[in-house]
A and B are shown apart, each in its own frame.
Chain A
Amino acid sequence: MKFIGSKTLISGVLSLLLHLLLGGLLIFSFDLPRKSPPARPIEDINIVKAVAIDKRQVDAELEAIKKFEEQKREQEQKRLNKLAQEAKALKGKRETEEKKLVAIKRKKQQEEAMLKEEKKKLAALERRKQQEETRLKDVEKKVADTEKRQQQEQDRLRQDQENIAKLAQETEQLEKRRELENQRIKEAEKKAKELEAKEQQRLAEERRQEEAKKKKQFEQDLAAELAAEETAEQRSRDQQLINGIKPRIIQSIEQNFNLAGLPDGLESKLLIRLIPSGAVISVSIEQSSGNEVFDSRAVNATQKASPLPISVDAETFERLGLREINIIFKPTN
């Protein structure tokens, strides 16, 4: 709000106007139309013409001139008076104008003062407004918070309810499953009983068949016994041979089976192929121990122990079934 600027402008304009007026008046005062006296060329006075002058005429003329002059003076005086009056009036006007100006100034000042007051009030109001706004925001936030909390509570409630429902469902399902299990167990028991009964029957049948077979066998045996005696002797001799060979093989392999650094509890099974001289011609891992190093040590042991101490002839070798044997490595501590 540029009050001061406008004030200056108004004063300026007013003063300018006054000056113009005065100036104008002054100017115009010189230009005021007045009766110009009859022009008397100066040169004419110098012309001497002897003429009989009528005194009366001259006096009358003089009177006339005096009157004229008086008139003129009166006019002039009037004019001057008028001017003076006008000047006075103007002065008066100017004074009133100045008074007005002063009044205006005072008013302006008053208005300024009022405006200042108003501004102050406005500022105060602004501040109050802002305070109110922040207070409003706080209140709004509090409201939002409480609403959020409410929402959370509601959610939690809902969750709890859902959980309860779930649990109820689960217990139902468990019940159902338990029932099914019970049923299954009952059925299994039933089946078991049935199978047992069948087994019993079968065993009875078998026993009957066995009896029949035995009778037949007895007759056959009597005849075959004589012949079998010879092969039985052979077989027991074979068994003795095997009983003698096995520990020798075990010893030769054990001497070459290096356990250093290996963990306990391992077991692997190898399949080896031999020829009658006892030489190991192939080794393969039938069942690994799961430990590469253990397996490799087992294989190495068999290879190092070759040729195995068998010392039997080719015919016995075949009959004893030594062509292919399994070696199980199962070190105990």
Chain B
Amino acid sequence: MRISKLVTTFFILFMTHSAGGIVEITIEQGIENPIPIAVIPFSSAADTSLPVSLEEIIVSDLERSARFKAIEYQDLPQRPTQLEEVNFQDWGLLGVDALVLGKLVQVGGGNYEIEFRLINIFDKKQIVGLQLSAHESQLRVVAHEISDIIYEKLVGVRGAFTTQIAYITVNKKSDGKKNYVLQISDSDGYGPRVLLESPQPLMSPDWSPDGKRLAYVSFEDKSSTIFVQDIGTGERRRVAANKGINSAPAWSPDGSRLAMTLSKDGNAEIYIMDVNSGELQRITNNNAIDTEPSWSPDGRKLVFTSDRGGNPQIYQIEIKDGKRPERLTFQRSYNTRPRYSSDGNSIVMVTGEGGAYQIAILDLNSRFISVLTQARLDESPSFAPNDHMIIYTTTNVEGSMLAAVSVDGKIHQRFSLSGSEVREPVWGPFLSKQ
């Protein structure tokens, strides 16, 4: 039966070919470029009283994601506000894929009406449009929400622009003493809010999955102690103040437990603490240093750094079955600071050789490692909650500052936040369910 099917297929193929059937062309490659986009200012140039420029925030978001390239304002051939006004030929010639139109109108009492449309230049149709009202104080959030929508429609993945980041800055006070500051800000660095200031070091901040608390390490008690602080109320409490090292807190995906490094039983080992009861579960037990735990999104595994093999490498352990941990990295002599992606498919890490440290991603399915950065001292990588970007610190002679790289390593961007030395940035979670 199969034979006759093949024969029939061959007959049909032959017949169409000889009859001059439809020509078929297969495209097997493409390019990886930022999407060219134009964002038209949301208000007329004459209106200078507006407190916030929505288009500036949107352009900054889209370009920082490394996936878009926006046309400069002076190069805009026209400034349409409606679909009917768009001259598609001009935009097509400019090589733009999509156009963002918008209107921002003041309606009194500090309230504004916002209209936004995303237009496909080739379809000549509107992809999405929105109308909403907001108070002046919410205009930045509105801009980030618009960026999220544009990102989702043109890249196909939820945007992470309405999220927050936390980081530690170190500066010198007027008396020459160091000042450590734990801050959170919008994902674009705007609106930094100090959560804690201390003359003693602060380290390893980690966001709770509901975005309401931060765990971190403080040396205010003269030795390392893990604190949990409520971001809204500022209330803080010690959760681990054992003898020796208490560090590297990592919230479980359901927010009920903290993995951490404690050396109270001899040397640095990994434990899991129930946040409510304080009950500890020991995870590692050997003479090597085991630290920097990070949870898999299903809450069943931990990845961590251990030097049990002679030098620092990354291992993975199933929390419940207590078997020996599996070693994940074998190339180079230094692999540390592992962090799981939200989809559980990859781990970002710091990889080093010969004194140079770079950010790399390990694909857990193929076990293939790709190095994303090329500078000499890149550290503390953290995934955006949509896994599309990685924020980290890069250090050169000027000091350390924040940088971001797209997950395929093709586009990098640096952004300095406050002029002081920035450390250990950690990207917060999505703040609402979609």
A327-B155 in contact given A260-B32, A321-B21, A321-B22 (Cβ < 8 Å) = no
CB distance from A270 to the nearest CB of B (A): 9
Contact of B1 with A195 in the complex, beta carbons under 8 Å: yes
Do B156 and A292 touch (CB < 8 A)? yes
Instruction: Select which of B23, B25, B28, B92 is within 8 A of A331 by beta carbon.
Output: B28
A303 at the interface (CB under 8 A from B): yes
CB-based contact B27/A257 at 8 Å: yes
Known: A292-B156, A293-B155. A303 touches B122 (CB 8 A): yes
Query: Within 8 Å of chain A (Cβ to Cβ): is B29?
Result: yes
Shortest Cβ gap from A134 to chain B (Å): 43
User: Interface readout for B138-162 with A: 1 if CB under 8 Å, 0 if not?
Assistant: 0000000000000001111100000
Nearest-Cβ distance from residue A302 to partner chain B, whole angstroms? 9
Q: Are B27 and A330 in contact (CB under 8 A)?
A: yes
Q: Which residues of the partner chain A approach B26 to less than 8 Å between Cβ atoms?
A: 250, 327-328, 330
Interface presence of A296 (CB below 8 A):
yes
Interface check B24, CB cutoff 8 A: yes
Residues 389-427 of B contacting A (Cβ, < 8 Å): 408, 410
Which A residues are in CB contact (< 8 Å) with B155?
260-261, 293
Q: Which residues on B sit within 8 Å (CB–CB) of A108?
A: none
Q: Are A250 and B27 in contact (CB under 8 A)?
A: yes
Given known A294-B156, A300-B122, contact A259–B30 (CB-CB < 8 A): yes
* With known contacts A260-B67, A321-B21, A329-B27, A299–B122 Cβ distance under 8 A: yes
The CA of A242 and the CA of B22, in the complex, are separated in Å by 12
Q: Which 6 interchain pairs have the tightest Cβ spacing?
A: A293-B156, A257-B30, A303-B122, A259-B30, A325-B23, A261-B155
A-B contact count (CB 8 A): 103
Pairwise interchain contact A253-B27, C-beta atoms closer than 8 A: yes
A76 contact set on B, CB distance < 8 A: none
> What is the predominant secondary structure among interface residues of chain B facing chain A?
loop
Minimum CB–CB distance from A185 to chain B (whole Å) comes to 16
Q: How many residues does chain A have at the interface if contact means C-beta atoms less than 8 Å apart? A: 43
Cross-chain contact A249 with B1 (CB below 8 angstroms): no
Interface flag for B355 (CB, 8 Å): no
Chain B residues closer than 8 Å to A242, beta-carbon distance? 23
In-complex Cβ contact of B157 among A261, A304, A330 (8 A): A261
Q: For residue B27, which residues in chain A have a CB less than 8 angstroms away from its CB? A: 250, 253-254, 257, 298, 301, 327-331
Would you give the shortest CB distance from B346 to chain A, in whole angstroms? 13
CA distance A259 to B34 in the complex (A): 10
* Chain A residues, Cβ within 8 Å of B21: 321
- B149 CB, min distance to chain A CBs, angstroms: 13
Most central of B23, B120, B122 by chain A CB within 10 Å: B23
A262 within 8 A of partner (CB): yes
Centre residue among A291, A297, A322 by max chain B CB count within 10 A: A297
* Extra 7 A-B pairs, beta carbons < 8 Å, given A253-B27, A259-B32: A250-B27, A260-B32, A298-B27, A321-B20, A325-B24, A326-B24, A327-B24
* Contact assessment for B156 and A254 in the assembled complex, using a CB-CB cutoff below 8 Å: no
User: Closest A-chain residue to B21, C-beta based?
Assistant: A321
Question: Chain A: which residue is nearest B7 at the CB level?
Answer: A203
B22: A residues at CB distance < 8 A: 321, 324-326
